């Protein structure tokens, strides 16, 4: 968590307020911040213009960013929403399937990442197959425990024939399950026997 003072709090313009709302909504939905390119595309403005707005909002303590960190934009109010603990269950592959190590220990996640009435757990990611979805080696994914997902969802999948667990986007095709990486250098693969163990609802990045 970042500690920020109330000194310097200022009023944002209408567009800057819209950008703040977009960042907050994006983080709530995805678990990580939008890139400058994504903000620019949403508002149909240039990246330099987005950078100017972000710089102003940062100076006014309306949001924070971390130098050298990707997707680190966070609205000031997000720091005050508290956190809850869920179990960190071990390691999951975002590359070739590897065995998930079940070593439960608590990890704090933002409350606004979770919904009431559902069970959650976390897994640390190993590999680079999901980088285009903003999931990098060493990240922690927050997973809602559920046995079904929609096509295109990022899911934790157990592969009984390999006795391994992997993280991929899931699609149902002709009686088979297509597991799709988010990395152009890696190819999708098909399985007929899979067990869905949860849907990814957020991403946590460890700051060095």
What is the set of active-site residues?
129, 168
Q: In whole angstroms, give the CA distance from residue 143 to residue 196.
A: 11
Q: In whole angstroms, give the CA distance from residue 84 to residue 92.
A: 22
Structure tokens at 176: 């088979």
Is 192 strand, coil or helix? coil
Burial of 57 (0-12, 13-18, 19+ CB in 10 A): buried
E-state strands within the chain: 63-64, 74-75, 83-93, 105-110, 120-126, 140-144, 154-159, 164-173, 176-180, 189-191, 195-204
Is 172 strand, coil or helix? strand
Q: In whole angstroms, give the CA distance from residue 69 to residue 86.
A: 25
The four Cα atoms 150, 160, 145, 143 give a dihedral, to 10 degrees, of: -80
């Amino acid at each position: 968590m970042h500690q920020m003072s109330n000194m310097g709090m200022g009023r944002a313009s209408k567009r800057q307020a819209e950008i703040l709302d977009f960042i907050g909504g994006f983080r709530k939905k995805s678990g990580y911040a939008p890139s400058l390119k994504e903000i620019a595309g949403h508002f149909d403005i240039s990246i330099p213009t987005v950078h100017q707005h972000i710089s102003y909002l940062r100076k006014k303590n309306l949001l924070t960013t971390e130098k050298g960190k990707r997707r680190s934009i966070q609205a000031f109010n997000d720091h005050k929403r508290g956190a809850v603990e869920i179990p960190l269950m071990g390691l999951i592959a975002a590359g070739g399937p590897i065995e998930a190590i079940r070593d439960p220990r608590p990890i704090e996640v933002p409350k606004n990442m979770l919904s009431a009435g559902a069970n959650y757990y976390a897994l640390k990611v190993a590999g680079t197959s999901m980088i285009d979805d903003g999931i990098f080696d060493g990240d922690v994914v927050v997973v809602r425990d559920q046995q079904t997902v929609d096509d295109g969802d990022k899911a934790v999948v157990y592969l009984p024939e390999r006795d391994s667990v992997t993280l991929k986007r899931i699609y149902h095709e002709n009686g088979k399950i297509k597991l799709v990486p988010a990395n152009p250098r890696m190819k999708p693969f098909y399985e007929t026997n899979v067990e869905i163990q949860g849907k990814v609802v957020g991403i946590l990045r460890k700051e060095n």
